[in-house]
């Protein structure tokens, strides 16, 4: 259902974007380009073959925005919302699909969670719209400021990366604007936390304490953002092509913003192609880790990364159990984290090898593009606009896989396990 649902939404969006009315010039774009844009929007990635602001009409902008909203919140969440509005009963089958869509451990309280997801998302987007509009009103007519405010609030909160600026860096004209940077980073971080964490944050007064999941997400996200900002600042401090000639405050703000945006957002205040190769490779690592489960972002997720680090530390210390915040994790969680990571590495490597065959570009630029697509990040070093048809189809595949999640596709397409009737004798091999 998840596989089919996303496919239908993407195809419907592609047909709408291919209509002449969706183009500013009234000239229809090719189906591959329409499919690429629709996939990028529904998978909340932000990679584009055309400039969104100038190439598409107002109708095209709203189609992209609706795809972003459905893709970010999740089509099963939206379907459940409409069912609740129509006062239709949610069946057990639908609850099970919703459980998989929201990455939950049980079906208990799912309908209440859907209501919270919709409420939190709309409230955060509304606040973001107001904050953006206030600032944009100084640079453009009020009506246009509202339009830009709505578009960017939804796009940035859903970690989609689409913008109407027409610049190589989404908010490059606001690179030193603390207000725009702060609003954007706030929306990115909230969208990347996941709705389970948002529910815990908004209900802390009633619950009095955070769940283990929330503690792991908050701590790992904070560490990754802080460490990422410091490393980007160090690597780019003397790079005159990026931030080397700016004041220290501007350098620090830019480093922090780009550490946050690699979590799956895709908006930038500068041209990533101007960064040093060490910075670009480090950003690939951050993009691969991505956001958190149940969020609008992609990647292997912060919790998966935490479990892997915990398993390594446990092995180094000679411990049998992986312990996070004084809680022991089941062995099945560790196996799942390893499986997800290896599966994701395999997909990114496969996509990179295909792109290295079809595209005439440096290996780092290709790896960056592949990781950005799979992590549904949307950052690019300039390769997207010159992709061949085969390259575009490869990126479409990577974005689709990254949004649905490799395990979801594996469970959907793979054989169903039967009951185990026996166990093999234990064997030993040498590791390392």
pLDDT digits (tens, 9 = 90+) for 163-182: 887 655 568 888 888 999 99
Q: What is the pLDDT of residue 133?
A: 94
- 101 pLDDT more than 60: no
Q: What is the pLDDT of residue 345?
A: 93
Q: What is the pLDDT of residue 368?
A: 95
Q: What pTM does this model have?
A: 0.88
Q: What is the pLDDT of residue 352?
A: 96
Instruction: Write out the H or E segment, with its range, that includes residue 54.
Output: helix 52-55
Confidence of residue 406 (pLDDT cuts 50, 70, 90): low
Q: What is the pLDDT of residue 412?
A: 58
Structure-model confidence comparison of residues 120 and 20, the more confident one? 20
The string of DSSP codes covering 296-362 is S--SS-HHHHHHHHHHHHHHHHT-SS-EETTEEPPHHHHHHHHHHHHHHHHHHHHHHHHHHHH--S-
Confidence of residue 424 (pLDDT cuts 50, 70, 90): confident
Structure-model confidence comparison of residues 416 and 244, the more confident one? 244
Q: What is the pLDDT of residue 62?
A: 94
Q: What is the pLDDT of residue 330?
A: 86
Count of C-beta atoms within a 10 Å radius of residue 318? 6
Q: Which of 68, 245, 266, 256 is nearest to 165 (CA)?
A: 266
What is the share, in percent, of the chain residues with pLDDT greater than 70?
Answer: 87
- 82 pLDDT more than 60: no
Q: What is the mean pLDDT of residues 232-252?
A: 91
Q: What is the pLDDT of residue 224?
A: 94
Q: What is the pLDDT of residue 298?
A: 81
Q: What is the pLDDT of residue 142?
A: 92
Structure-model confidence comparison of residues 164 and 345, the more confident one? 345
Q: What is the pLDDT of residue 14?
A: 94
Q: What is the pLDDT of residue 95?
A: 65
By DSSP bridging, strand 323-324 and strand 327-328 are: antiparallel
Q: What is the pLDDT of residue 173?
A: 85
- 36 pLDDT more than 90: yes
Q: What is the mean pLDDT of residues 68-97?
A: 66
Range name among 123-137, 154-168, 286-300, 314-328 with the lowest pLDDT average: 154-168
Q: What is the pLDDT of residue 297?
A: 78
- Coil, strand, or helix at residue 23? strand
C-alpha span between 106 and 124 (Å, rounded): 26
Confidence of residue 418 (pLDDT cuts 50, 70, 90): low
What tens digit of pLDDT does each residue of 102-152 get? 555 556 666 677 777 788 888 999 999 999 999 999 988 999 999 999 999
Q: What is the mean pLDDT of residues 285-290?
A: 93
C-alpha span between 112 and 119 (Å, rounded): 11
- 85 pLDDT more than 70: no
CA distances to 150, 279, 310 from 326, rounded to whole Å, are 43, 35, 12
The two three-digit tokens of residue 51, written as one number? 């400039």
């Amino acid at each position: 259902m998840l596989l089919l649902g996303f496919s239908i939404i993407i195809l419907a969006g592609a047909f709408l974007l291919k209509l002449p009315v969706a183009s500013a010039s009234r000239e229809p774009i090719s189906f591959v380009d329409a499919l690429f844009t629709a996939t990028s929007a529904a998978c909340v990635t932000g990679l584009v073959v055309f400039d969104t602001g100038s190439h598409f009409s107002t109708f095209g902008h709203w189609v992209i925005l609706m795809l972003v909203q459905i893709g970010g919140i999740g089509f099963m969440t939206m379907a459940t919302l409409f069912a609740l509005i129509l006062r239709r009963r949610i069946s057990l089958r639908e609850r099970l699909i919703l459980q998989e869509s929201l990455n939950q451990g049980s079906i208990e309280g799912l309908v209440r969670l859907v209501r919270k997801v919709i409420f939190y998302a709309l409230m955060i987007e509304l606040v973001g719209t107001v904050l953006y509009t206030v600032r944009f009103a100084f640079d453009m007519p009020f009506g246009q400021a509202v339009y830009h405010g709505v578009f960017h609030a939804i796009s940035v909160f859903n970690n989609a990366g689409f913008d109407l600026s027409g610049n190589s860096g989404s908010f490059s004209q606001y690179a030193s604007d603390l207000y725009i940077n702060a609003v954007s980073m706030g929306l990115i971080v909230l969208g990347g936390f996941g709705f389970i964490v948002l529910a815990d944050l908004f209900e802390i007064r009633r619950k009095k304490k955070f769940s283990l999941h929330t503690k792991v997400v908050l701590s790992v996200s904070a560490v990754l953002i802080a460490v990422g900002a410091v490393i980007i600042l160090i690597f780019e401090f003397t790079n005159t092509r990026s931030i080397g000639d700016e004041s220290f405050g501007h350098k620090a703000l830019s480093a922090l913003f780009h550490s946050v945006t690699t979590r799956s957002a895709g908006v930038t205040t500068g041209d990533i192609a101007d960064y040093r190769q060490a910075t670009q490779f480090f950003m690939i690592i951050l993009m691969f880790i991505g956001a958190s489960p149940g969020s609008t972002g992609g990647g292997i997720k912060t919790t998966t990364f935490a479990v892997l680090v915990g398993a390594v530390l446990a092995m180094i210390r000679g411990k049998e159990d992986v312990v996070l915040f004084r809680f022991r994790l089941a062995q099945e969680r560790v196996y799942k984290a390893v499986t997800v990571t290896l599966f994701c590495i395999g997909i990114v490597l496969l996509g990179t090898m295909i792109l290295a065959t079809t595209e005439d570009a440096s290996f780092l630029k290709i790896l960056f593009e592949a990781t950005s697509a799979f992590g549904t990040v949307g950052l690019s070093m300039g390769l997207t606009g010159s992709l061949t048809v085969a390259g575009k189809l490869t990126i479409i595949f990577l974005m689709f896989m990254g949004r649905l999640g490799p395990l979801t596709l594996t469970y959907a397409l793979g054989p169903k396990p039967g009951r185990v009737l026996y166990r093999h004798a234990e064997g030993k091999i040498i590791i390392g």
